[in-house]
Amino acid sequence: MNKRILIVDDSFYMRTMLKNMLTDAGYEVVGEAANGQQALEMAASTAPDLITLDVILPDNTGLDVLRGLRQQSPNAKVVMCSAVGQEVIVNEAIENGALAYIVKPFSEERVLEIVGSALRGDAA
């Protein structure tokens, strides 16, 4: 069974690139959310196995969305995406239950490695 992934990022370019990488690797991208509210709605309706979550979303909601997701969809694994310079938020995210983080700009190998190990349950 293909693992199902929800992508949350406010950049269409970034979502497209992530989607292509994940789809090419055989994952099923079940949705793409561009803001926090969409992310929570899509997570509820699609019940993904894993969510990639951009730390900086419109209305400054990255961490709030993470907390909402942990409550609403506790089975979904969350991997944070962030560019360098956001280490403080990333650490807070890990404390709030995110499993791993991917640093932008990301390489295809790195994305697949982190997503793969998060899904298997290893530490990244």
Partner 1 sequence: MTAREQEYRELFMAEALEYYESMSRHLSELERTPDDVPALNELFRLMHNLKSNARAMGHTAIGEVAHSLETVFGLIRDRERAFAGPLVAVVFTGLDELGAMIRAVGADQPLPDAAALLDNLARVARGDEPVLPAPAPADAEAPAEEDARKLELSDLVYIQVRKLDKLLNLVGELVIDRDRILTLAEEIGHPALQATARHLFRISDDLQYSVMDVRLVGVGVLLNKFPRVVRDVATAEGKEVELSLGGQDVQIDRNVLQIMTDALLHLVRNGVSHGLEAPAEREAAGKPRVGQLRLLALTERDDVLIEVADDGPGIDTEAVRRKAVERGLATAELAATLDEQAVWAFLFEPGFSTAAQVTDISGRGVGLDVVKRALDSLGGQLRIASVLGQGTSFTLVLPTSIAVKGALLVELDGRPYAVPLLHTDTVLALRPDEFSVVGGLLLAHVQGQAVPVVPLRELLHAEGTEALPAADKTLLQGPQQVLVVNYNHRRLGLLVDQFLRQQNIVVKALSKPLDAIDLFGGVTLLGSGQVCLVLDVPALTRLFVARRA
By CB under 8 A, what part of segment 42-101 binds partner 1?
Answer: 56-60, 83-86
Q: Which is nearer to partner 1, 57 or 99 (CB)?
A: 57
What's the CA gap between 12 and 118, in Å, rounded? 24
Q: Is residue 2 close enough to count as binding partner 1 by CB under 8 A?
A: yes
**H or E element that contains 4:** strand 4-8
What's the CA gap between 47 and 20, in Å, rounded? 20
By CB under 8 A, what part of segment 21-40 binds partner 1?
Answer: 23, 26, 28-30
What's the CA gap between 47 and 28, in Å, rounded? 12
Q: Is residue 14 close enough to count as binding partner 1 by CB under 8 A?
A: yes
Q: Which of 4, 68, 94, 113 binds partner 1 (CB under 8 A)?
A: 4
- Where helices occur in the chain by DSSP H, the ranges are 12-24, 36-46, 62-72, 87-95, 108-120
Q: Which is nearer to partner 1, 16 or 72 (CB)?
A: 16
The Cα diameter of the chain in Å comes to 37
Q: Which of 25, 92, 104, 119 binds partner 1 (CB under 8 A)?
A: 104
Binding residues for partner 1, rule: CB under 8 A, are 1-2, 4, 10-14, 16-17, 20, 23, 26, 28-30, 56-60, 83-86, 104-106
